[in-house]
C-alpha cells in the first residue's frame, strides 16, 4: 500500500488533558492525515480556554490531506476541565469503538489513544480494566501484549509484558508456559511486522530475584521459563535469558537486544518510565490493527491550564505512522 496514512486519534476522557493535547497536534507537521475523534464543541471550548487556535477541518471519509480534521461524536453531558462525570463514560467508549471500527475496515491505517479514566468508567457501571483489555475483547483476540517504548540516550527502549494489570500476589500463578509462549510469538511477529526487525533479539527477564539463583530463590525460571525459551530457540527465535531484572536494564545488557520481555507490570515499566517519561508510548501488540497510546494518565489537575506536555502524544503519532509504513512494506 502507498499514499498518506490516515490516523484516528481518540481524545479520551473529556475532563482530562486529552482534548487539549489533540489540539496541540496542529503545532507540528506530520506525514499523515490525522483525524481527531471528539465532540467539536468540546474542542472549541478547550481551545478558547488555553488560547489555542482550533485549526481543524471537518473529516470527510475517503479524503486524504496533510494536517488535522475532526470527526464529531457528541458528548452525553457538558464537560468541564477536571470534573469527571460518569454520564460521559459511554462517549469515551464511543470514541474507541469508532476508531477501532474504522481501522478494521481500513478507513484508518492506525489508531492513537489519549488517556481515559478507568475509575469513572467503572463508576458508570461499565466494567473496564483498560484500553488493552477493551480492544482485545472487541477484536475477539485471546491474547494481546502490552509494550511500552521510548527513546533514551542509548537508543530505543522497548519493554513488553507477560502479565499486565494484576495484583502482585497473582503474578507467579499467571506465568505459565502457555502464556509465555503465546506472548513471545506475538512479540516476535509484531517486531517484524510493525518495526521491520526481521530477527528480533529479545531479552527475557526472570521472575525471581537473580533469575531464581539456580532454584534457591524460586523455581519458575527452571520449571517454566527456560523450557519455553529452549523450545522457541529451536524454532529460530533469538532469545536471551532469563536474566536477573536488576541488571537487565543496564546499557551493556540492553545493547544486546532489540526489546525486553518483563514478567510483570512494575518490573518492566518502572525502569522504562524512569528512562523515557514524557516521551514514552504504549503499544498494543497482537491486535489486527495498529494501536499506540500515551504513557500517562488524564492529569485532571492540568486540564484546561494549557500546561500539559504533548510530547508523549506526538511520539505516539510518530510511532503509529512508522508502524503503518513498516506494515505496508511487510505486505
Residue ranges covered by each domain of the chain:
1-141+287-331, 143-283
Run of H or E residues at 246? helix 245-248
Please tell me the CATH code under which domain 1-141+287-331 is placed.
3.40.718.10
256-291 residue pLDDT tens: 999 999 999 999 999 998 998 778 899 999 999 999
CATH fold for the domain made of 143-283 = Isopropylmalate Dehydrogenase (3.40.718)
Query: What is the phi/psi pair of residue 232, to 5°?
Result: -75, -30
Return the closest-CA partner of residue 114 out of 136, 133, 99. Answer: 99
Q: Which residues contact 13 (CB under 8 A, 6 or more apart)?
A: 84, 88, 92, 114, 115, 116, 117, 120, 298
What pLDDT was estimated at residue 2?
A: 61
100-159 residue pLDDT tens: 999 999 999 999 999 999 999 999 999 998 898 899 999 999 899 999 998 888 888 999
Q: Output the DSSP codes for 72-129.
A: E---SS--BTTB--GGGHHHHHHHHHHHHHHHHTTSSSEEEE----HHHHHHTT----
pLDDT at 243 over 80: yes
Run of H or E residues at 195? helix 177-195
Amino acid at each position: 500500500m502507498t499514499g498518506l496514512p490516515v490516523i484516528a486519534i481518540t481524545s479520551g476522557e473529556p475532563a482530562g488533558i486529552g482534548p487539549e493535547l489533540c489540539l496541540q497536534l496542529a503545532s507540528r507537521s506530520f506525514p499523515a492525515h490525522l483525524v481527531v475523534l471528539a465532540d467539536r464543541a468540546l474542542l472549541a471550548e478547550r481551545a478558547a480556554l488555553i488560547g489555542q487556535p482550533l485549526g481543524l477541518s471537518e473529516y470527510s471519509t475517503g479524503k486524504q490531506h496533510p494536517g488535522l480534521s475532526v470527526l464529531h461524536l457528541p458528548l452525553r453531558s457538558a464537560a468541564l476541565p477536571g470534573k469527571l462525570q460518569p454520564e460521559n463514560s459511554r462517549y469515551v467508549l464511543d470514541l474507541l469503538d469508532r476508531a477501532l471500527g474504522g481501522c478494521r475496515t481500513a478507513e484508518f491505517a492506525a489508531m492513537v489513544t489519549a488517556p481515559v479514566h478507568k475509575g469513572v468508567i467503572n463508576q458508570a457501571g461499565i466494567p473496564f480494566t483498560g484500553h488493552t483489555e477493551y480492544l482485545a475483547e472487541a477484536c475477539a483476540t485471546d491474547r494481546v501484549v502490552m509494550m511500552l517504548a521510548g527513546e533514551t540516550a542509548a537508543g530505543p527502549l522497548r519493554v513488553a509484558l507477560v502479565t499486565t494489570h494484576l495484583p502482585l500476589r497473582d503474578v507467579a500463578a499467571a506465568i505459565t508456559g502457555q502464556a509465555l509462549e503465546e506472548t513471545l510469538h506475538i512479540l516476535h511477529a509484531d517486531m517484524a511486522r510493525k518495526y521491520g526487525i526481521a530477527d528480533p533479539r529479545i531479552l527475557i527477564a526472570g521472575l525471581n530475584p537473580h533469575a531464581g539463583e539456580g532454584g534457591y530463590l524460586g523455581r519458575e525460571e527452571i520449571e517454566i521459563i527456560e523450557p519455553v525459551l529452549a523450545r522457541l530457540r529451536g524454532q529460530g527465535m533469538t532469545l536471551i535469558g532469563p536474566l536477573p531484572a536488576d541488571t537487565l536494564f543496564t546499557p551493556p545488557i540492553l545493547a544486546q537486544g532489540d526489546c525486553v520481555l518483563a514478567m510483570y507490570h512494575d518490573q518492566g515499566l518502572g525502569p522504562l518510565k524512569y528512562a523515557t517519561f514524557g516521551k514514552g508510548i504504549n503499544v498494543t501488540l497482537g491486535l489486527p490493527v495498529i494501536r499506540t497510546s500515551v504513557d500517562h494518565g488524564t492529569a485532571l489537575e492540568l486540564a484546561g491550564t494549557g500546561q500539559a506536555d504533548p510530547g508523549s502524544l506526538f511520539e505516539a503519532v510518530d510511532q503509529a505512522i512508522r508502524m503503518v509504513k513498516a506494515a505496508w512494506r511487510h505486505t
